[in-house]
Structure formats: C-alpha cells, structure tokens
C-alpha cells in the first residue's frame, strides 16, 4: 500500500482546494494532476479536478477523507488546459473550481461512470481512418489567398484580424487555411467559433462537405447531454480534427490545437452573461498566445478593441474588399427621412414601391425591425395609462396574436385588458410597432405575397427556425420580416432589398457601445442583399427609414466604410476615456429594495484605498427593477489593466467578508454598463 495525497478543486464558490487521501493498490492507476476524481464533499459525492499530488498534507489524519474513484478511463486534462482555466479564474475573479468543472460535460461529472464508458465504447467503434483532406475547393482571389498563406504559414503566435466585407468569402479562407494545416499535420486540431447556434448547421454542412473524412465535433448548448459528452471526448482524445462551436467551446480540451478561428468576432454573444462572465474571443487570443499558434478574428465590422490592436500593429490586419461571387455587388444604401415623409403603417412610399417592384420581379425582400411583438406599449389616450409591468421598470409588450401582454424582461403574461384599468375607456391604443404589426400591415397591402416573420416568438418550437430559414432559401417566401435573428450569416441568394425600420433609439442610447453595435447590425443586415451575381442592371438596395439621416453613422454606412467609422469612434472613446482606452470592472448588486443594494455598493467602495483605479459612485442600473428585484452597480476603471487586476485581487477577498443579504457579482470587462 502506498499512500498519497491529492489536492482537488470542486465546483463551489469557496476559493480553496480540498485535500484527500488516496489509497490504491500497486496495480491501480496513480493519481495525476489534471485527472478527474470522485470525492466525498459534505454529504455528497462530487467529481473534482486534481490540481496537485503530494506525499504529505497539513490536514490532520482524522479530518482526511478518501478519494472514492479516479476517472482513469480518460487521459488527464492537459497542462495547457489547466493553465487556461487558471488564467480565466484569475482574470475574471472566480475560484478555479467554478471555472474548470462547469465547463466539462454534465455526464462526465456523474457519480457513476456509465455514460462515460458507453461514450468511449462508441468512439472506439467510430475510430476514423487517417484523415485526408478533400481537394474540391473554389479558387481564391488574391486577397483571400494572401490571408490563407498568412494563417497556414504562421510561425508562432499570430493574431490575424480578417476584415472582410459581407460576402467576401471569409469562410472560404478559414476552410482552406484549415485544409493546409491538416495536410501538413494530420493530427492537428482546429477550433472554429461561431456566435449563434442557428448559424451552425449551415457552416457544419459546409465543413463536412469539404472534409468528408475528417472527424468533426460540434460543441454548443443545443446538444443533448449524451451527444455533448461524446463530442467533448472526441476533442479531448484528439480524435476530432475540427471542432465547431459557440463560446463555450473555447474552454474545450484540445490537446493538438493548431489554429483558432473566431468568426464574427465582434458579436456580443461571445460574452458569457452569467456564472463565469468571460469573453470567448479574448480567451481564444490568450489560448493562441499560450500555445504559439495563429488565431483568426474575422468580421465585416470588427470590435473596436480588435480594430485598435490592428492599428497599433499588435494584430496583423488583412482586408478582403471584394465580394467573392463574381458580379455580386454591395447594395446601394439609401436613407429615407421618416420625419419628413408621410408614413403609411410606419412605412414610406419609397419603401412600399421598392417592395412592390421586388414582388413583380420575383425577388425577395427583407424587412428588419429589432422589436418583436405587436406593439411595445398599450396606452389609453383618455387618461395616459400605459401598460407598465408591475414587476419591472419596463412596459408590457402587446402580443396581439397570442392575445396577451407580455414583459420581455420577467416573462410575466396577462390578458389584454378590455378597458383601461384606470378610467374604463374601452378604446386602448397600441403605441409604436413590432414585427407582428408590420406583418399585419404587409398582409393587407400585398395580399398576393408570401410573407414570413422570423423572431423569437415565431421560432419557439425546436427546429422551427431552421424550417423557416429553409423556406426562405427554397424561394417559398417573398417578404421576410425579422429581428436580429435574420441579420447574421445567412446567405439568401435571391434577396435584393433590405428595408430597415426605425433604428433610431440606438443612436442616442445611454450605452456607449450602442452605436458600435448598431453599425455592425446594419452592416450585417445590409449584407444579406445582393450576394449572388446581379441580373441585368437590378442593383440590390438597402433602404433605411430614420428621423436622423444626417447622423454621421449613416454616412459611413452608405460608403460601406467601416474604417472611417471606427477611427471616429475610437477618437471619441479616447477623449472620453472609455474602452479600449481604459479597463473596467463592474460590481453589481441585487436586492428587494434599491437602497439596500446601493448601501452595499457604498460599503464596498470604501473597503480599500483605490490605488491606480477610479471607483465611481454607485448608481441604479438603467433597467432598475426586474421581477421585483432592484439592481444597482458600481464601476471601477483604470487606464492600466495590471493596476485594475491588482486592485481586484485585493478587493474580492475583502468583498467576500462583507456580511450582507444583497446578492452581488463581479464582471471584468463588462459588455453593458
Ligand atoms: Zn384610461
Ligand atoms: Zn416584467
């Protein structure tokens, strides 16, 4: 008998490791760092991660408990993966156990290893033949070729910002760079991150068609747990050469990782908004740096952070300025002044005429409105009553087809009142318009047209979003109405008109990132038009209805010039000392009563002397109350990232000692403030 002690990280909010004794026979596997082990914790048995193995311990023998079982069926998690978790834990101020364990598949953390053993058996059966790379790839234009060469021949850590206009063939660059790397080293692994699950089937099909014999794994929250375990294992065992996934895939174990691609790198969904609030893009860059491999950040509208890095030379910028399909041209962007022109059902005559023309020609149109439901508010003209949510500082949205008022923040639903609750007036009016109301107007104006609405309400059922997009691709739809769900990625071949309704609220938002996001969104949605070769002289068009056609954002958009816009915005940010020129952390507090949340933040602000950082005053969040919980925040900023990190390292332990019933969270590099 040989006795050893292991230190184990488990998924708890306590920032400590636990010591256990391991008693194993000579023939049994030895515990190793990175291995998973089943251990007793209080009255439970949980899977933990071994972070150290030693011959001794400071814990007295009577308090030591024994490891129940090692998960020796799979190799230990590799050191670079542990280092990634340690970095994420340190940077985002979370205990290691709360980072490392939740990112493993649930089925791997079960007490009995049945699912694990079944998955391993299945993987052994599907052991692929040595991977070969298919050759049938389209010819690249010179800019694409330059990008592929830069990525595939990279020597060491090479961050590449691939700035390509919509439809310029960025995906083709990723695929051919991957093909070159896999030809050079057949065991290599390539991680491709995408923002949304609804984009994955299209890209996945493209990858499988291009690499028919290469094992591909997918990782996203839409997978069933058994599938997720199998895909995760095939990545961890080095079987899968290509791993395609959403943000959580950046934390997968990939022992042979040779290239990371972050597609649409500017997309807000790379930011995790609960638990470990990480940026998958930032972790991807860190991981590439750690391994000394290339990382490609692709976008038509890069984040200002990445753009700034390219300007200062930290990232190599490669531009794709032409559409990949020959004779496909960028759409002409026109602004329609919705303040000066008369509107019928919220639409200008010019937009109506453009829709009519597309119908006559048998081409498709897309109307983009980032507001679902029928109308954002129901109101009473007689007394001024509006449909406030009783639980939130927000309006209840009118959903006419479901005959409900619904709060989009707390999901509260109620029947539409027959009369004003305050004065009894029976003539209640919808204010403003959402996608359902636009759909209704279009149906009355274009009775012959096939009209389809795609938003979170119309695609609640599993698979319904895909079916809806398929219908558009099959040409079964004349006019598509949608929210941001339709703006991203889709390659609609017969779409020649994009209409944008009311983008104005984002122009004057309290959130300093709103205009950056609006620009990206409009450029994305505009990019849905004119992706195939133009027929005759039918140029595709984007018509934007706005009350502020003079706004500089639109001038840059019309010129399809992201660079001009980004440069102007960076200057503004520098003058205002906003990211990327400063670094931020946000302490958020939630309580039944707002004063309690604010008082906690006030107390938190006084815990430490602010060295090298600025601690702002606590303020209520813009959306102060959600589901009867009041929310407030305290912003800490510094021009120096190390100074901010040093402050947080001292502040977090101090915060943990504060006795309070207020729920609080810390977010480093917050996306919304
Ligand atoms: Zn009333
Ligand atoms: Zn609500």
296 and 216 belong to one structural domain: yes
| Residue 671: φ, ψ to 5° | -85, -35
564 and 588 belong to one structural domain: no
Identify whether 659 is part of a domain: yes
How far, CA to CA in Å, does 328 sit from each of 167, 283, 331, 532? 9, 36, 9, 5
598 and 519 belong to one structural domain: no
Give me ligand 2 centre to Cα 389, in Å. 5
Identify whether 355 is part of a domain: yes
Closest CA to 279 of 168, 187, 195, 376: 195
**The CATH number of the domain where 608 resides is what?**
3.30.70.260
Strands 619-626 and 44-54 come out as unpaired
Spatial distance between the Cα atoms of 268 and 394, rounded to a whole number of angstroms = 23
CB 589 within 8 A of CB 632: yes
Question: Would you say residue 216 has pLDDT above 80?
Answer: yes
For 217-223, what is the mean pLDDT? 92
What distance separates the 2 farthest-apart alpha carbons in the chain? 88
587 and 659 belong to one structural domain: yes
Give me ligand 2 centre to Cα 302, in Å. 34
Give me ligand 2 centre to Cα 632, in Å. 17
Final residue before a domain boundary, out of 299, 320, 341 = 320
> What is the residue-wise DSSP string for 277-311?
--BHHHHHHHHHHHHT-EEEEEESS--HHHHHHHH
> pLDDT value at position 30?
83
Give me ligand 2 centre to Cα 404, in Å. 13
Of the listed ligands, the closest to the CA of 380 is 1
- Rounded to 5°, angle at Cα 546 from 542 and 550: 95
Give me ligand 2 centre to Cα 452, in Å. 28
Domain interval for residue 592? 583-668
Give me ligand 1 centre to Cα 593, in Å. 29
CA 392 to chain centre: 25
Closest CA to 268 of 256, 257, 280: 280
Final residue before a domain boundary, out of 71, 102, 133 = 102
Of the listed ligands, the closest to the CA of 408 is 2
232 and 97 belong to one structural domain: no
Task: Compute the mean pLDDT over every residue in the chain, rounded to the nearest whole number.
Answer: 92
Of the listed ligands, the closest to the CA of 405 is 2
Question: Would you say residue 534 has pLDDT above 80?
Answer: no
pTM of the shown model: 0.92
201 and 296 belong to one structural domain: yes
Q: Where are the beta strands (DSSP E) in 157-304?
A: 158-164, 189-193, 216-219, 242-245, 257-263, 294-299
Of the listed ligands, the closest to the CA of 426 is 1
Identify whether 46 is part of a domain: yes
Identify whether 628 is part of a domain: yes
Identify whether 502 is part of a domain: yes
Give me ligand 2 centre to Cα 424, in Å. 23
Give me ligand 1 centre to Cα 420, in Å. 5
510 and 642 belong to one structural domain: no
**The CATH number of the domain where 515 resides is what?**
3.40.50.300
Of the listed ligands, the closest to the CA of 427 is 1
**The CATH number of the domain where 98 resides is what?**
3.40.1440.60
Token code pair at residue 549: 């056609």
> pLDDT value at position 132?
58
545 and 466 belong to one structural domain: yes
Give me ligand 1 centre to Cα 113, in Å. 62
Higher pLDDT, 619 or 59: 619
Strand partners, 216: 242
455-510: pLDDT as tens digits = 999 988 888 888 999 999 999 999 999 998 888 767 788 899 999 998 998 888 88
For 626-640, what is the mean pLDDT? 97
CB 242 within 8 A of CB 211: yes
199 and 249 belong to one structural domain: yes
Identify whether 76 is part of a domain: yes
- Please report how the helices 200-210 and 170-184 are oriented relative to each other, as an axis angle in degrees rounded to 10: 40
> pLDDT value at position 313?
96
The tally of domains found in the chain comes to 4
620 and 498 belong to one structural domain: no
491 and 563 belong to one structural domain: yes
Higher pLDDT, 538 or 107: 107
Question: Would you say residue 319 has pLDDT above 80?
Answer: yes
Give me ligand 2 centre to Cα 387, in Å. 11
How far, CA to CA in Å, does 574 sit from each of 235, 563, 565, 569? 42, 16, 14, 9
Give me ligand 2 centre to Cα 628, in Å. 8
Of the listed ligands, the closest to the CA of 389 is 2
Strand partners, 318: 162
CB 33 within 8 A of CB 19: no
Final residue before a domain boundary, out of 71, 86, 102 = 102
Long-range contacts of 572-575 (CB under 8 A, 24+ apart): 573/304, 573/512
Identify whether 348 is part of a domain: yes
543 and 451 belong to one structural domain: yes
Identify whether 33 is part of a domain: yes
Of the listed ligands, the closest to the CA of 407 is 2
> pLDDT value at position 474?
92
Give me ligand 2 centre to Cα 433, in Å. 19
Give me ligand 1 centre to Cα 416, in Å. 14
581-603: pLDDT as tens digits = 999 999 999 999 999 999 999 99
Strands 316-320 and 158-164 come out as parallel
Question: Would you say residue 133 has pLDDT above 60?
Answer: no
Question: Would you say residue 27 has pLDDT above 60?
Answer: no
């Amino acid at each position: 008998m040989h006795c050893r002690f292991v230190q184990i990280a488990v998924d708890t909010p306590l920032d400590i490791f636990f010591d256990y004794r391991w008693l194993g026979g000579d023939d049994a596997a030895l515990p190793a760092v990175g291995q998973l082990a089943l251990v007793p914790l209080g009255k439970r048995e949980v899977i933990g991660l071994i972070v150290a193995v030693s011959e001794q311990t400071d814990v007295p023998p009577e308090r030591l408990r024994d490891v129940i079982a090692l998960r020796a069926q799979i190799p230990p998690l590799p050191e670079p993966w542990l280092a990634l978790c340690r970095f994420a834990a340190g940077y985002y101020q979370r205990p290691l156990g709360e980072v490392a364990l939740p990112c493993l598949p649930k089925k791997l953390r079960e007490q009995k290893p049945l699912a694990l053993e079944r998955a391993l058996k299945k993987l052994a059966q599907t052991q692929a033949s040595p991977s070969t790379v298919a050759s049938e790839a389209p010819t690249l234009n010179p800019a694409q070729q330059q990008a592929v060469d830069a990525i595939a021949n990279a020597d060491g850590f090479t961050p590449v910002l691939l700035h390509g206009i919509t439809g310029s063939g960025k995906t083709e660059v990723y695929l051919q760079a991957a093909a070159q790397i896999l030809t050079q080293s057949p065991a290599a692994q390539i991680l491709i991150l995408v923002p949304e699950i609804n984009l994955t089937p299209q890209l996945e099909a493209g990858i499988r068609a291009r690499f028919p014999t290469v094992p591909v794994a997918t990782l996203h929250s839409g997978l069933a747990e058994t599938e997720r375990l199998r895909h995760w294992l095939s990545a961890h065992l080095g079987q899968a050469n290509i791993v395609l996934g959403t943000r959580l895939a950046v934390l997968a174990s990939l022992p042979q990782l040779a290239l990371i691609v972050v597609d649409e790198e500017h997309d807000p969904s790379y930011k995790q908004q609960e638990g470990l609030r990480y940026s998958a893009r930032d972790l991807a860059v860190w991981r590439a740096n750690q391994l000394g491999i290339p990382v490609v950040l692709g976008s038509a509208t890069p984040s200002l952070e990445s753009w700034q890095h390219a300007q200062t030379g930290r990232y190599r910028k490669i531009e794709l300025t032409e559409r990949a399909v020959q004779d496909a041209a960028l759409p002409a962007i026109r602004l329609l002044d919705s303040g000066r022109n008369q509107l019928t059902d919220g639409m200008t005559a010019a937009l109506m005429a453009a829709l009519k023309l597309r119908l006559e020609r048998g081409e498709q149109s897309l109307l983009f409105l980032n507001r679902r439901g029928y109308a954002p508010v129901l109101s009473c003209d007689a007394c001024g009553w509006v449909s406030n949510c009783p639980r939130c500082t927000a309006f209840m949205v009118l959903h006419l087809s479901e005959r409900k008022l619904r709060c989009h923040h707390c999901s509260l639903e109620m029947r539409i009142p027959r009369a004003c609750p305050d004065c009894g007036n029976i003539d209640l009016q919808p204010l403003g318009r959402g996608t359902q109301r636009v759909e209704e107007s279009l149906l009355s104006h274009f009775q012959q047209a096939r009209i389809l609405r795609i938003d979170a309400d119309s695609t609640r059922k599993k698979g319904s979003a895909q079916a809806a997009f398929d219908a558009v691709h099959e040409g079964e739809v004349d006019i598509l109405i949608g929210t941001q769900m339709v703006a991203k990625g889709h390659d609609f071949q017969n779409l020649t008109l994009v209409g944008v309704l009311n983008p104005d609220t984002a122009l004057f938002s309290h959130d300093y990132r709103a205009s950056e996001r609006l620009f990206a969104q409009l450029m994305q949605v505009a990019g849905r038009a004119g992706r195939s070769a133009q027929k005759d002289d039918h140029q595709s068009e984007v018509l934007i209805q706005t009350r502020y056609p003079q706004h500089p954002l639109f001038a840059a958009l019309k010129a399809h010039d992201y660079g001009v816009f980004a440069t102007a915005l960076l200057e503004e940010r520098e003058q205002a000392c906003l990211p990327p020129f400063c670094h931020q952390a946000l302490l958020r507090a939630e309580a039944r009563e707002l004063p309690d949340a604010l008082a906690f933040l006030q107390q938190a602000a006084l815990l430490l002397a602010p060295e090298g950082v600025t601690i702002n005053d606590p303020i209520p969040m813009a959306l102060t109350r959600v589901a009867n919980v009041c929310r407030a925040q305290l912003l800490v900023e510094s021009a120096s990232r190390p100074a901010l990190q040093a402050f947080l390292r001292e502040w977090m332990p101090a915060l943990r000692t504060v006795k309070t019933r207020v729920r609080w969270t810390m977010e480093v590099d917050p996306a919304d403030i």
